Copies of this chain bind each other. A is one copy, B any other.
Amino acid sequence: MNIEVCFSPQSYPLFHNPGSIVVVIDILRATSAITTAFFNGVAKMIPVSTIEEAQKYKDQGYLVAAERNAEIVKGFDLGNSPFGYMNAKVKGKTIVITTTNGTQAIHAAKGTYKIVIGSFLNLDTVIEYLRKEKKDVLFLCSGWKNKFNLEDTLYAGAVAEQLIYKYNFNSICDSTIAAMELYKLAKHDLFGFLANSSHRNRLEKLDLERDIKYCLTPNQCPVLPVLEGKFLIKGA
């Protein structure tokens, strides 16, 4: 059971392994929002890459979330703030979602054995699932417009550390070592460690500190969103 960490959706083809479980990570905020949505009773989600696809679904009457550059796209119902999904109106619904980075990453990984959604909010649920499945694991960090980011890397390190030290997974991948070393440095104060990170600064300008703190707090939403065909559904 081998672990690799891919820092950008652009690099995914270098890592593709049809037998892997791909854990898609976009801590700030797409995968945190998706995890929160399922915990709050959303039935299904449809991740799409473009605003145009999202608009087509909206025209058909779907509830649609669309975020670009950390803000809700004008005319859509939701963005990628997790707090938008803590709402009775989402319960039982199918929600279409497109975001700057996270939904692109989900599409990049299509064709692998299984795609699941990872965030600190469902940290232990993801670890438990991977432990039981006993497959190769690829952590796919969404990054920011195909560049490396810290928060997705820290999460990959958090899960990898558990799988390697407790459950006999292994890795010969330098990006796994880097992710685990960075997580070791950061784990006692994730929020502080990210103080100078580019995306935290981007969100702070938008007054989203509450979102950031929420997204960095583990195990608030013990659900596992998984991709089945074009739908994300609640898998555990």
A residues sitting closer than 8 Å to B (CB atoms) are 7-8, 10-11, 14-15, 144-150, 153, 172-175, 177-178, 181-182, 185, 196-199, 201
Contact = CB atoms under 8 A, between A and B. Distances in A.
B14 A178 contact: no
A1 to B, nearest CB: 17
A215 to B, nearest CB: 16
Copies assembled? 2
A101 B145 CA distance: 24
A11 B10 contact: yes
Given A177-B197, A185-B185, A145 B10 contact: no
A197 to B, nearest CB: 5
A138 to B, nearest CB: 12
19 contacts: A10-B14, A11-B11, A11-B146, A11-B147, A14-B147, A144-B174, A147-B174, A147-B175, A148-B175, A148-B178, A149-B174, A150-B174, A150-B177, A150-B178, A172-B198, A173-B198, A174-B197, A174-B198, A177-B197
Nearest to A153: B178
A148 B143 CA distance: 14
Contacts of A145: 14
A180 to B, nearest CB: 10
Closest 6 CB pairs of A and B: A148-B175, A150-B174, A149-B174, A174-B198, A172-B198, A174-B197
Contact of A201 (B172, B197, B199): B172
Given A172-B198, A174-B197, 10 more contacts: A11-B11, A14-B145, A14-B146, A144-B174, A147-B173, A149-B174, A150-B177, A150-B178, A172-B201, A173-B198
